A = this chain, B = another copy of it.
């Protein structure tokens, strides 16, 4: 008998491995940070003995979800302005609110609240772009979440830096500071082609190349941006990115609503990846990204919630449901974007987008133990015919009961073990009072 730290047993295991193995009455042995074995409960229990055991009877066990694009600290602005024009939303609410209120305190507590919300809805890894990302890194570290973070870079001053050069230096500091962390990973994140000069974009890419870290940006989010870029750049935005050497396997782009077939071919040929944000694209009336075509061309697509000011939650299970349904109605074809495809976007393909395919996104020996358990013994989950369709079309974030990240149990029976939930809510409520006062609302 081999001794391990944790055995989870008696669950329906969706491995999301190469063979789509689904194991009834399955178990997982975990030691340290790693998955040691996945198999039938009886086999695992015959070979391993554990210090802790988790009974997953009536539960689905699967890889933790990967939120491939968010702005975590924007939980503080959740629902601050809805149902209004995008430019009014940005200029009258979001930008003034950020300019007046974003500081290290907001960044830390907003990010920690986001971690609480993400863990409670089954997310174990997130990719973040915002201001004062060192605070987000500290929050993720405290919460025990895996992440890939980048300071948002643009031409104008941010609450964290006066010049783009300072923003790049801050990013370099983050890369070096967190280089050996088991959970926190750093990347380079220029905000967009319409807020960054060519020289900033080129410098950002150099930095990413120097440290061999990923680089990503908002890209072709809506028609207005597409039109503006055409005029500003004098060429197809995708070709502009190609000309400044962005398009390689370490580059990915958020939203990509207005990509056409030519853009998609260029991305596919370059090995670039895409993050789909259907709920944000719907709520801001940006449009529907051509995801089926991207998938047909072999582009790896992940899924993200975007920030809380444009969603207004971080629930990946709801995002998965919406992603599937939106694509079907947009293409008028119920067979596109199957539950299976969407599940991959939120797990193994999200991991590929973030360059974490050897760490997370599927359950097999040698991977990090990022695992969630979902309680199936509920009226809205009864009966069950197909585990994938159940996951996408019926399961909610609140059905997740237990979450393990990097071998550590961070939620058990819906109780957070790494975050003081009451404290973080209290702090963010206080911050929100200040935001209201600064904007003269509420």
Closest to A321 in B: B318
Known interface pairs A117-B379, A385-B78. Does A334 touch B429 (Cβ–Cβ under 8 Å)? no
Name A285's contact: one of B281, B333, B380 (CB within 8 Å).
Answer: B333
Q: In angstroms, how far is the closest chain B Cβ from the Cβ of A128?
A: 17
Interface hub of A79, A84, A425, A432 (most chain B Cβ within 10 A): A79
Q: In angstroms, how far is the closest chain B Cβ from the Cβ of A419?
A: 9
CB 8 Å contact bits of A90-115 with B (1 = contact, 0 = none): 00000000000000000000000100
What residues on B are CB-neighbors of A117 within 8 Å? 379-380
Name A85's contact: one of B79, B281, B334 (CB within 8 Å).
Answer: B334
Name A380's contact: one of B287, B315, B399 (CB within 8 Å).
Answer: B315
Whether the pair B334, A283 counts as a contact (CB closer than 8 A) is yes
Whether the pair B397, A396 counts as a contact (CB closer than 8 A) is yes
Whether the pair B396, A396 counts as a contact (CB closer than 8 A) is yes
Known interface pairs A83-B335, A85-B335. Does A120 touch B394 (Cβ–Cβ under 8 Å)? no
Q: In angstroms, how far is the closest chain B Cβ from the Cβ of A93?
A: 10
**A242 interface residue (CB < 8 Å to B):** no
Whether the pair B315, A318 counts as a contact (CB closer than 8 A) is no
Whether the pair A329, B285 counts as a contact (CB closer than 8 A) is yes
**A232 interface residue (CB < 8 Å to B):** no
Name A113's contact: one of B284, B314, B382, B396 (CB within 8 Å).
Answer: B382
**A240 interface residue (CB < 8 Å to B):** no
CB 8 Å contact bits of A329-348 with B (1 = contact, 0 = none): 10111110111100000000
What residues on B are CB-neighbors of A311 within 8 Å? 393
Whether the pair A79, B379 counts as a contact (CB closer than 8 A) is no
Q: In angstroms, how far is the closest chain B Cβ from the Cβ of A118?
A: 9
How distant is the Cα of A120 from the Cα of B79 in the complex, in angstroms? 25
How distant is the Cα of A89 from the Cα of B335 in the complex, in angstroms? 11
How distant is the Cα of A313 from the Cα of B75 in the complex, in angstroms? 27
Name A318's contact: one of B81, B318, B338 (CB within 8 Å).
Answer: B318
**A325 interface residue (CB < 8 Å to B):** yes
CB 8 Å contact bits of A269-301 with B (1 = contact, 0 = none): 000000000010111111110000000000000
What residues on B are CB-neighbors of A169 within 8 Å? none
Whether the pair B379, A120 counts as a contact (CB closer than 8 A) is yes
**A390 interface residue (CB < 8 Å to B):** yes
Interface hub of A393, A429, A441, A442 (most chain B Cβ within 10 A): A393
**A386 interface residue (CB < 8 Å to B):** yes
Whether the pair A385, B432 counts as a contact (CB closer than 8 A) is yes
How distant is the Cα of A285 from the Cα of B330 in the complex, in angstroms? 8
Could you tell me which residues of chain A, from 405 to 442, have a CB within 8 Å of some CB in chain B? 421, 424-425, 428-429, 431-432, 436, 441-442
Q: In angstroms, how far is the closest chain B Cβ from the Cβ of A40?
A: 19
Whether the pair A424, B379 counts as a contact (CB closer than 8 A) is yes
CB 8 Å contact bits of A307-328 with B (1 = contact, 0 = none): 0000111110010011011101
How distant is the Cα of A399 from the Cα of B378 in the complex, in angstroms? 15
Known interface pairs A322-B325, A339-B83. Does A382 touch B283 (Cβ–Cβ under 8 Å)? no
Name A396's contact: one of B223, B314, B328, B398 (CB within 8 Å).
Answer: B398
Known interface pairs A393-B79, A425-B377. Does A436 touch B283 (Cβ–Cβ under 8 Å)? no
How distant is the Cα of A182 from the Cα of B273 in the complex, in angstroms? 58
How distant is the Cα of A378 from the Cα of B121 in the complex, in angstroms? 12
Name A421's contact: one of B322, B379, B389 (CB within 8 Å).
Answer: B379
Known interface pairs A84-B335, A394-B78, A394-B79. Does A383 touch B288 (Cβ–Cβ under 8 Å)? no
Q: A282-B325, A396-B396 are in contact. List 12 more A-B contacts (CB 8 A).
A: A76-B383, A82-B339, A82-B393, A83-B338, A84-B335, A283-B328, A285-B333, A313-B393, A315-B396, A318-B396, A384-B432, A385-B436
A–B Cβ pairs within 8 angstroms, 10 of them: A79-B389, A80-B385, A82-B338, A282-B329, A283-B324, A313-B394, A322-B322, A377-B425, A383-B431, A385-B442
Please provide the 9 A-B residue pairs with the shortest distance between their CB atoms, ordered closest to farther: A383-B432, A282-B325, A398-B398, A312-B393, A282-B329, A116-B379, A285-B334, A82-B389, A83-B338
